[in-house]
Amino acid sequence: MIVNGDQRRRGDDTPRPTTTLALLTTRRFWPLCITQACGALNDNLVRNALVVLALFRAGAAGPILVALAAGLFVFPYMLFSATAGQLADRHDKARLIRLLKLAELVLMGTAALGFLLDSIPVLLLVLVALGVQASFFGPLKYGILPDHLRPHELLAGNGLIEATTFVAILVGTMAGGWLVLLPRGPIVISTTGLAVAVVGVLAAWPIPPAPPRASNAADWQILRATAGLVRAARQEPGIWQPILGISWFWTLGATLIAEFPVLAKVTLGAGGELVSLFLTMFSFGIGAGSLLCARVLKGEASARYVPFALFGISLFTWDFAVAGSGARGLVSVSAVLASPVGWRMLLDLVLLSACGGLYSVPLYALIQQRAMPAWRARMVAASNVMNAAFMVAGAVVAAGLAAAGATAPRILIVMAAVNLLAVAWSVRFLPPGALRGATDGCARLWHRIAARRRG
């Protein structure tokens, strides 16, 4: 297909990496991986530091500012992703990445000013700008991978990108909340943000060129461009279905992460350290599942395990919620680690998030492989638009359930049940005969177990 032409153009006489981590030694990948991880870290560093400042210093307006901060960062994805995708297809992606990293350095300097002045309005403005910058960066980082990686490396590359992204989100979230409350917190967090931005700029410079694929002019009518982009994506079933699948994944993840603090504080009566533990286990599972994906699928971009991964998400989310709703005395990390129920909850978190990695990584690779080169970044942008729309809708539904009196475990159980509908929908990802083969395999296993019991 289109990738074969790219492969011939690059030449395929270089040694093929034998492991996922071997990609990190190649200039085709490691600069991009470090660059995007620095951006994700800084986004969450500033956002969570702002959340903590709002909660501790804004009084009754604190919870409103927390909700506003989440919306301000996600909303630019819906507005600017279409234009971002057009620009990424029309220009050298590596050059655009370097320009965006320089813009991030300026934004982190402005954030430092906001922290030093203790100005929440300035920090909110920076958060909006970081959301805009991130919306332009997304189509670049996923659109550039097929330009630099061979077809059999796409799964490994996407897995590493997803794993490092979630680790960066975890580090940024935890560091933002911790550093800002130190005695000299504003100075420490400002210095940290600027240092990470500098590392991101330096890492972006060795990214190899990625020549433009399209020559059409960008449409700066934002709403028209966004509607046209989504319409174009919908006309390609092989791309639209993975886009919907990825959007559902981000809805699940965002809802789950949003319920961690509520479950820890309200249901279990614990503090922030337990929330950090939940986030750590969740990020570890996503990373493990993402890295395992290339090995399980043997480098082939295939969605044949997507329905099974989705079912695993439902199963382990349900068990996590049930265990949490009946838990008593899990008020600290040590209490969790000393309790069988606590270990059950942590294992559920790792397994459900590992299923998330196995679910999402092949879908990103399918979009990259199936999209025409001249439209590749725009298809990634269409995915970002849908991701944002799904996440907002999921947040509204979760907020509505909470307002109706639903507890965090109950909301998670509802999410697990609704996800079963997605399992049924995702069967269309299976290749012909795969469902019958899986059913026959389960039947043979059941008969074997029954025969052993009779014997």
**Cβ-proximal residues to 148 (8 Å cutoff; 6+ apart), any chain:** 28, 29, 32, 208, 210
Q: In one letter, which amino acid is 369? A: Q
CATH architecture of the domain covering 22-220: Up-down Bundle (1.20)
C-beta atoms surrounding 112 within 10 Å: 21
- Kindly state the percentage of the chain with pLDDT values over 90: 38
Judge whether 22-220 and 232-428 match in fold: yes
Rounded to two decimals, the pTM is: 0.83
- What digits encode the pLDDT tens for the residues 124-146? 899 899 999 999 999 999 999 99
CATH architecture of the domain covering 232-428: Up-down Bundle (1.20)
Of the listed ranges 168-177, 321-330, 347-356, the least confidently predicted one is: 321-330
Short-list 53, 332, 277, 273, CA closest to 176? 53
- What digits encode the pLDDT tens for the residues 326-335? 887 788 888 8
Confidence band for 434, pLDDT divided at 50, 70 and 90: low
pLDDT of amino acid 33: 94
Residue spans per domain, the chain: 22-220, 232-428
pLDDT of amino acid 5: 37
> Bigger pLDDT: 11 or 357?
357
pLDDT of amino acid 443: 59
Short-list 65, 314, 56, CA closest to 185? 56
Q: Is the pLDDT of residue 109 over 90?
A: yes
| Distance separating alpha carbons of residues 288 and 351, to the nearest angstrom | 9
By 3-state DSSP, what share of the chain in percent is helix, strand and coil, each rounded to 5? 85, 0, 15
pLDDT of amino acid 403: 80
pLDDT of amino acid 145: 92
Q: Is the pLDDT of residue 192 over 50?
A: yes
- What digits encode the pLDDT tens for the residues 200-248? 999 999 999 988 876 666 667 788 888 888 998 998 888 999 999 999 9
